[in-house]
Amino acid sequence: MRAVTAIVRAILLCSTLLLLCKSASAFCNVPQIRLDDEFFVSDIVFTGTIVADRKIGLTREGFFEARVFTWRVDTVLRGAITSGQQVKTFTGNDSARFPLESGAAGSLAGRSFLVFAFRDEQHAGSFAIDNCGNSVPLRAAKSKISEIKALPLHHGGLLYGSMMDGDAGVRITAKGSVGSFSTATKDDGSFQINVPPGHYSVIAERPGKVFSKTDIAYKDPNDVVVPDGGSAGLSFREKGR
């Protein structure tokens, strides 16, 4: 019986280590989302303090399946929430989770963060946080909060992105109801196009090559919405690569 228990504990420990290793190299969409992009696609943006930290499926070995944080909203920056309201975020214990703070295995109750969150369709009443986004501990959020407050002063929009394989000199063209705009990718395959706010379809072109959207982009280039004062990120790759 002791041998069986030891084996079970070893399996749980290995599983935990694998998850920790996986989370350390969590895969992110390309390009990395800009703050003025994530702000407009988030359902709520706020500064808040964790008032409850609940681990689901917690074992004696410390492994857990998921974590639910209850937040007290301190300052509302976007969304239909109010100061003092409580909201919940759900995060699975996997590589896609928002880590909050590296190595924070204990309770995080009492800690404050700048949070960009979207409705969690799999867990009604909860929100989720992009682990590759702009959410950070409040102590590191001063510049981000200043940028958010300055967004109403910005006008126009920005399309930005990259070629997955770093292709330079690719013509990127955005077509919308207000006109057509284009640029060429830089030496590292990145691009930026200043455009008026609106809906666009965006294509990548170079003679003899065919490019398509990637599966790890935040936006669909066939229907991109660029908000006033905001941006939208895209990525392309040559077909067959």
DSSP per residue, 6-26: HHHHHHHHHHHHHHHHHHHT-
Residue with tokens 């989302």: 33
Q: What is the pLDDT of residue 25?
A: 40
Vertex 235, ends 131 and 193: CA angle to 5°? 110
Residuewise pLDDT in 10s, the chain (241 residues): 444 333 334 433 333 333 333 333 456 888 899 999 999 999 999 999 999 998 888 787 777 788 899 999 999 999 999 999 999 999 887 766 676 654 456 788 999 999 999 999 988 999 999 988 999 999 999 999 999 999 999 999 999 999 999 999 999 999 999 999 999 999 999 999 999 999 999 999 999 999 999 988 889 999 999 999 999 999 999 987 7
Provide the pLDDT for residue 173: 98
pLDDT of residue 31: 87
Contacts of 230 (CB under 8 A, 6+ apart): 36, 37, 39, 40, 151, 157, 158, 197
Cβ distance 52 to 69 under 8 Å? yes
Cα-only R_g, the chain: 21
What DSSP designation does 152 have?
A: G
Give the start-to-end residue ranges of the domains of the chain.
35-151, 155-238
- Beta carbons within 8 Å of 63's beta carbon, 6+ residues apart: 12, 15, 16, 57, 93
Distance (Å, whole) CA 132 – CA 119:
16
What is the reported pLDDT for 101?
Answer: 59
- The CATH architecture to which 155-238 belongs is Sandwich (2.60)
- 35-151 folds as OB fold (Dihydrolipoamide Acetyltransferase, E2P) (2.40.50)
CA distance linking residue 65 with residue 58, whole number of Å: 7
Specify the pLDDT at position 12: 39
pTM of the model: 0.82
One fold for both 35-151 and 155-238? no
- The C-alpha angle with vertex 72 and arms to 68 and 78, in degrees rounded to 5, equals 100
Q: How many CB atoms lie within 10 A of CB 221?
A: 23
| Residues 202/171, Cβ–Cβ less than 8 Å | no
Contact 116, 218 (CB under 8 A): no
Check residue 95 and give its pLDDT: 64
